């Protein structure tokens, strides 16, 4: 078992550089299947989700070399269309190989993706969109069997019922090799979509409108054979997590290699909570107050709204604010596994009957306890709570946190936190 042992009460201060974004690198690695030449990825985060995705790439025939934060992917001689089950079951983002391999080999078989348990509707938009482009998809015994029809993949006009990040990425990747024009309406607008589009354009794809609600792809139906290098954008959620860590510990930190405008959906709430923030071109500085102020009401929304991936960290921070705050989760059902764990540390959080709204009455201090991470951001929120708490906290199941943070214990130690990763 892997766990963090954290002694709380240390004030975080200092400077830290932020690495590449998990949610950007995962779709880009799937998109790399379209390249029949070498792909070089710089600023590639060494997180376990990247390592699992590399296993998929190697499992289908690519050779890779991962040195520090540079990943080299060498083209496959024979690309397999069978994605190894064990990787897919661990990670929801493995569904992105569906669009990539359909486009590249005309076929793909993969287990239904794992990761968070998000209910049955979780990939209907991916499937419907790919079918509109001519794919034939059937499900048998928790496995998806997909192939292209006789006429291959064709451009289509697809209107998403909801601007799903993953569905937008899957369709974007497939569309660059479909015949003719594809229009994705109600597309997700997250910065990671723009990064994926930039990567695909370097390969030779023709894409307009990425980052807006309408993306137009001029499918080329040709093979891409171009040695390309791409630098992954900084991880705005890792940056946000460390800003909240500083906010909760009366800290004073500077984060470099960030894009401050991408942090605005949540830094505006940190300002409201009494933090003093200063943004420069590629950095952001936060100076925390003695006691955080309540935030009123926060509602998670699609980009550029407040990120669902920062919800748990804000629940932790508002647990020690001066008054009552409220956060409503609207993107995922049941994203609340951090609540019972934070309660063990003395947080006063009430869940409404639909379990989507958290009413948080700030307490003066949290106290150390034995808690367990149940998913990635739940784990991050518990680490933050532990840094601010009195006494010692054990956060079990650190492997969830390691999916999305490259050595969180080293980063926080460098800022003065007392946190150790233990393998017991």
Q: Which is nearer to ligand UD1, 158 or 369 (by Cβ)?
A: 158
Which of 6, 18, 122, 347 is close enough to bind ligand UD1 by CB under 6 A? Answer: 122
Instruction: Report in angstroms the alpha-carbon separations of 103 from 33, 147, 176, 207, 368.
Output: 9, 9, 8, 16, 51
Binding positions for ligand UD1, 23-42, rule CB under 6 A: 23, 26
Question: Does 145 sit near ligand UD1 (CB under 6 A)?
Answer: no
Question: Does 159 sit near ligand UD1 (CB under 6 A)?
Answer: no
Catalytic annotation on 87? no
Question: Does 124 sit near ligand UD1 (CB under 6 A)?
Answer: yes
Cβ–Cβ under 8 Å, residues 18 and 258: yes
Question: Does 308 sit near ligand UD1 (CB under 6 A)?
Answer: yes
Q: Which is nearer to ligand UD1, 98 or 342 (by Cβ)?
A: 98
Question: Does 123 sit near ligand UD1 (CB under 6 A)?
Answer: yes
Which of 166, 219, 234, 379 is close enough to bind ligand UD1 by CB under 6 A? Answer: 166
Q: Which of 84, 95, 101 is nearest to 148 (CA)?
A: 101
The stretches of 296-421 forming alpha helices (DSSP H) are 311-318, 338-344, 376-388, 398-402, 408-414
Least distance between ligand UD1 and beta carbon 129 (Å): 8
Least distance between ligand UD1 and beta carbon 361 (Å): 27
Least distance between ligand UD1 and beta carbon 93 (Å): 4
Please give the Cα distance from 226 to 293 (Å, whole number): 52
Question: Does 334 sit near ligand UD1 (CB under 6 A)?
Answer: no
Could you tell me where the beta strands, DSSP code E, fall in 18-80?
Answer: 39-42, 63-67, 70-74
Cβ–Cβ under 8 Å, residues 53 and 97: no
Q: Which of 116, 138, 146, 378 is catalytic?
A: 116
Question: Going by DSSP bridges, is the β-strand pair 392-396/370-372 parallel, antiparallel, or unpaired?
Answer: parallel
* 389 φ, ψ (degrees, to nearest 5): -80, 165
Number of residues that bind ligand UD1 (CB under 6 A): 21
158, with CB counted inside 10 A (0-12, 13-18, 19+), is buried
Piece of 163-171, 251-259, 319-327, 342-350 that binds ligand UD1 (CB under 6 A) = 163-171
Question: Does 167 sit near ligand UD1 (CB under 6 A)?
Answer: yes
Please give the Cα distance from 126 to 140 (Å, whole number): 17
Least distance between ligand UD1 and beta carbon 55 (Å): 16
Q: Which of 118, 115, 109 is nearest to 137 (CA)?
A: 109
Residue 318 sits at the vertex; the CA angle it makes with 316 and 322, to the nearest 5 degrees, is 140
Binding track over 230-269 against ligand UD1, x by CB under 6 A: ----------------------------------------
Least distance between ligand UD1 and beta carbon 373 (Å): 15
Which of 262, 309, 375, 402 is close enough to bind ligand UD1 by CB under 6 A? Answer: 309
Residue 172 sits at the vertex; the CA angle it makes with 166 and 173, to the nearest 5 degrees, is 90
What is the number of the residue whose Cβ is closest to ligand UD1? 166
Question: Does 164 sit near ligand UD1 (CB under 6 A)?
Answer: yes
Question: Does 341 sit near ligand UD1 (CB under 6 A)?
Answer: no
Please give the Cα distance from 314 to 100 (Å, whole number): 35
Which of 40, 76, 118, 351 is close enough to bind ligand UD1 by CB under 6 A? Answer: 118
Least distance between ligand UD1 and beta carbon 90 (Å): 13
**104 membership: H or E segment, kind and range:** helix 96-105
Question: Does 121 sit near ligand UD1 (CB under 6 A)?
Answer: yes
Question: Does 375 sit near ligand UD1 (CB under 6 A)?
Answer: no
Cβ–Cβ under 8 Å, residues 36 and 74: no
388, 392, 394, 395 alpha-carbon torsion, rounded to 10°: 0
Piece of 9-17, 118-126, 209-217, 364-372 that binds ligand UD1 (CB under 6 A) = 118-126
Binding track over 183-212 against ligand UD1, x by CB under 6 A: ---------x--------------------
CB contact set of 373 (below 8 Å; sequence gap of 6+) = 341, 379, 382, 395, 396, 397, 398, 400, 401
Q: Which is nearer to ligand UD1, 22 or 254 (by Cβ)?
A: 22
Residues labelled catalytic? 116
Residues that bind ligand UD1 (CB under 6 A): 23, 26, 92-93, 118, 121-126, 162, 164-167, 192, 308-309, 331-332
């Amino acid at each position: 078992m892997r766990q963090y042992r954290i002694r709380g009460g240390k004030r975080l201060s200092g400077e830290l550089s932020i690495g590449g974004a998990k949610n950007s690198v995962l779709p880009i690695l799937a998109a790399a299947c379209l390249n029949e030449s070498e792909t070089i990825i710089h600023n590639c985060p060494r997180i376990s989700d990247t390592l699992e995705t590399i296993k998929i790439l190697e499992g289908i025939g690519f050779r890779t070399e991962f040195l520090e934060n540079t990943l080299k992917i060498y083209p496959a001689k024979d690309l397999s269309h069978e994605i190894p089950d064990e990787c897919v079951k661990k990670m929801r983002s493995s569904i992105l190989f569906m669009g990539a391999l359909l486009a590249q080999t005309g076929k793909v078989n993969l287990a239904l993706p794992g990761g968070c348990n998000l209910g049955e509707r979780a990939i209907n938009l991916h499937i419907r969109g790919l079918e509109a482009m001519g794919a034939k998809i059937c499900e048998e015994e928790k496995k998806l069997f997909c192939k292209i029809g006789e006429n291959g993949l064709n451009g289509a006009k697809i209107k998403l019922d909801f601007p799903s990040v993953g569905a937008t990425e899957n369709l974007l990747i497939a569309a660059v090799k479909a015949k003719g024009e594809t229009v994705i309406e109600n597309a997700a607008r997250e910065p990671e979509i723009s990064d994926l589009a930039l990567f695909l354009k370097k390969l030779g794809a023709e894409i307009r409108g990425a980052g807006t609600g309408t993306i137009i792809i001029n499918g080329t139906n040709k093979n891409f054979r171009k040695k390309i290098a791409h630098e992954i954008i900084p991880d705005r959620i890792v940056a946000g997590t460390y800003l909240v860590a500083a906010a909760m510990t009366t800290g004073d930190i500077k984060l470099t290699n960030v894009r401050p405008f991408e942090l605005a959906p949540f830094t505006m709430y940190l300002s409201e909570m009494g933090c003093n923030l200063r943004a420069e071109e590629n950095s952001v500085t936060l100076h925390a107050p003695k006691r955080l102020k309540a935030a009123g009401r926060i509602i998670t929304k699609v980009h550029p709204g407040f990120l669902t991936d920062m919800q748990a960290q804000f629940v932790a921070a508002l647990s020690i604010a001066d008054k009552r705050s409220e956060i409503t989760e609207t993107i995922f059902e049941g994203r609340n596994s951090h609540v019972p764990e934070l309660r063990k540390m003395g947080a006063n959080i009430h869940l409404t009957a639909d379990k989507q709204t958290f009413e948080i009455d700030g307490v003066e201090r949290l106290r150390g306890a034995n808690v367990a991470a149940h998913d990635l951001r739940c784990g991050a929120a518990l680490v933050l709570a532990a840094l601010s708490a009195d006494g010692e906290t054990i956060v079990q199941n650190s492997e969830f946190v390691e999916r999305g943070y490259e050595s969180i214990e080293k980063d926080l130690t460098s800022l003065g936190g007392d946190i150790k990763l233990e393998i017991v």
